[in-house]
Amino acid sequence: MLLIFSISINYCLAQEDLMNLIEDDDKKTSITTSTFKGTRIISGHSVETRGAGTLDIIFMHRFGKINSGAYNLWGLDEAWIRLGAEYAIGNAFTVGAGRSSYEKTYDGFVKYKFLKQTKGLKNFPVTGTAFISMAINTLKPTDETQDVKLSSRISYTYQILLARKFNEMLSLQLTPTLVHHNLVRTPEEHNDIIALGLSGRHKISRRMAITFEYFYQFNNNTDEVNYDPFGIGLEIETGGHVFQLVFANSQAMIEQQFITGTTGDFFEGDIHFGFNITRTFHLKKNSAPANWQ
Contact 49, 129 (CB under 8 A): yes
The number of folded domains in the chain is 1
CB-CB contact of 180 with 156 (8 Å)? yes
Alpha-carbon distances, residue 107 vs 4, 24, 156, 246 (angstroms): 72, 47, 9, 21
Q: What is the CATH number of the domain that holds 107?
A: 2.40.160.40
139 falls within a domain: yes
The per-residue pLDDT for 95 is 97
Predicted confidence (pLDDT) at residue 92 exceeds the cutoff of 60? yes
Helices (H) and strands (E) in the chain, counts: 2, 14
Does residue 290 have a pLDDT over 50?
A: no
In angstroms, the CA 215 to CA 262 distance is 11
Domain extent for 153: 32-282
* pLDDT class of 190 with cuts at 50, 70, 90: confident
Closest CA to 47 of 238, 156, 199: 199
Examine residue 155 and state whether it is found in any structural domain, yes or no: yes
Share of the chain above pLDDT 90, in %: 67
Instruction: List, for residues 38-66, the tens digit of each pLDDT value.
Output: 999 999 999 999 999 999 999 999 999 99
224 found inside a domain:
yes
Q: Which of the residue ranges 53-67, 134-148, 191-205, 258-272 would you say has the lowest mean pLDDT?
A: 134-148
Residue 11 lies in a domain: no
Least confident of 10-24, 34-48, 261-275: 10-24
Q: What is the mean pLDDT of residues 5-9?
A: 44
Among 204, 198, 122, which Cα is nearest to 170's?
Answer: 204
pLDDT of 9 strictly over 60: no
| 7 located within any domain | no
The pLDDT value given to residue 17: 54
* For residues 222-229, average pLDDT: 78
190 domain residue, yes or no: yes
In a domain, 288, yes or no: no
The helix/strand/coil state of 153 is: helix
Q: Taking 60 as the threshold, does the pLDDT of residue 145 lie above it?
A: yes
25 inside domain: no
* Mean pLDDT value across the chain: 87
| Model confidence, pTM | 0.85
Q: CA 173, CA 216: separation in Å to the nearest integer?
A: 14
At 287 the pLDDT is: 57
